[in-house]
Structure 1
């Protein structure tokens, strides 16, 4: 897949990738790093923890390992907060080392520079296996699709697939139902998308939908709680 993607620089100076076949970027043009912090850290991990203090370990399922940015930021979060995280990610089309080794996420924040080695470690971690990457971060990544993967009970879901207009098969009701069934009571689903159909489907699945403000360039995003 690496021959179909090219590195671009987004408005906050961080890299993203442009998928030439889908004519779509992996992150927001308005800032890849800022988007991940906003959608998945602030309105994902931080929000869930505020409602579930001292409920560890936190089990996270991610749809779309992609550049590894969300996983790496979560590892940094886990180490800084000394909170154990069990992280399961899926990705059918892994990036080549030629691509991921050029991404500049570790340059975006001087305060977390000493975690830079873990970014490469996540990419080099064996596919379809699980184990610790750092003291507080246990990792499993599967080279598979959402349709074929086995899901484990999750506290937080990072739904970071390409847009519904680009990868509609991942946003179908049946796939959202599969994910929602795997979520534990009190679980949180978070995504950058604010699609009206997505919100209707999540509500139809019995989830409580919330629309926080979106990251730069987006009016809102979507959270959904499983009560």
Structure 2
């Protein structure tokens, strides 16, 4: 399938799929969407709430940032360009919190495409270009220590094959939209996500479709509608209550 590098409204790049008229990130701002959906309402929310009991051993405060968990496990559904992983890596360093990150991707992005993305520049992290590249260069199906606070395991598989039980604290659900891949937004997929989360775990997604919310609720999630990122009125956060 043809893929094109395009500039989004906040100046950051994404990959556009002309055949589907679909982007890897919001055309209204790739970086803005990532921060709003996955960092603010996912990672920071989990940190602020204290997370699971086993991860509440210490609080870390750095330059005004705080995290009440010192060990966090994150699963990303749709590793794609690595934008969400890279921003999470930067946050882990600010928070001094250890994050074990698992990125699942069925169709990895090519390095010549990665080299055209401008995330380090737009994030004012040009000194971290080598770390962004390393996220994509390390081998699949193995754990790699990227920084002192961030490890990455990339898994090349379909989302339906995720069968882990109570392994993750947070899920970034960043699959292509239900318009083009409705099979990724079904009860069976969210059942797998529910089982994969630990108690008090959190799933966040840019989607706010009623059918998605109902599928989440049907498998046991408590779902909240939240204000969406630029270009979207709402988004969803689903919690697995203990």
Q: TM-score, normalised by structure 2?
A: 0.89
Match of 2:53 in 1: none
Match of 2:172 in 1: 158
**Alignment partner of 2:200 out of 174, 186, 190:** 186
**Alignment partner of 2:26 out of 15, 25, 28:** 28
Q: Is the 8 A contact 2:37 2:204 kept in 1?
A: yes
Q: CA deviation at 1:54?
A: 2.9
Match of 1:39 in 2: 37
Structure 1, unaligned stretches of length 5 or more?
A: none
Match of 1:71 in 2: 85
Match of 1:195 in 2: 209
Q: Is the 8 A contact 1:44 1:190 kept in 2?
A: yes
Helix, strand or coil at the partner of 2:48? helix
Q: How does 1:140-179 map to 2 (within 5 A)?
A: 140-151=153-164, 153-179=167-193
Helix, strand or coil at the partner of 1:147? helix
1-structure distance, mates of 2:175, 2:123:
25
Q: CA deviation at 1:147?
A: 1.5
- Cα RMSD, aligned residues only: 1.2
2-structure distance, mates of 1:43, 1:98:
32
**Alignment partner of 1:50 out of 44, 48, 53:** 48
Q: Is the 8 A contact 1:65 1:89 kept in 2?
A: yes
Q: CA deviation at 1:149?
A: 3.6
Cα distance per residue 1:90-145 (max 9 Å; x no partner): 111111111001100111132x3332221100010101111211110011001111
Q: CA deviation at 1:150?
A: 4.4
Structure 2, unaligned stretches of length 5 or more?
A: 51-66
Q: TM-score, normalised by structure 1?
A: 0.95
Q: CA deviation at 1:207?
A: 1.2
Q: Is the 8 A contact 1:76 1:115 kept in 2?
A: no
2-structure distance, mates of 1:198, 1:101:
34
2-structure distance, mates of 1:174, 1:194:
18
Answering whether residue 151 of structure 2 is matched by residue 138 of structure 1, we say yes
Q: Is the 8 A contact 2:69 2:97 kept in 1?
A: no
- Give the paired residue count: 224
2-structure distance, mates of 1:21, 1:142:
26
Q: How does 1:75-114 map to 2 (within 5 A)?
A: 75-110=89-124, 112-114=125-127
Q: Is the 8 A contact 2:200 2:240 kept in 1?
A: yes
2-structure distance, mates of 1:87, 1:203:
26
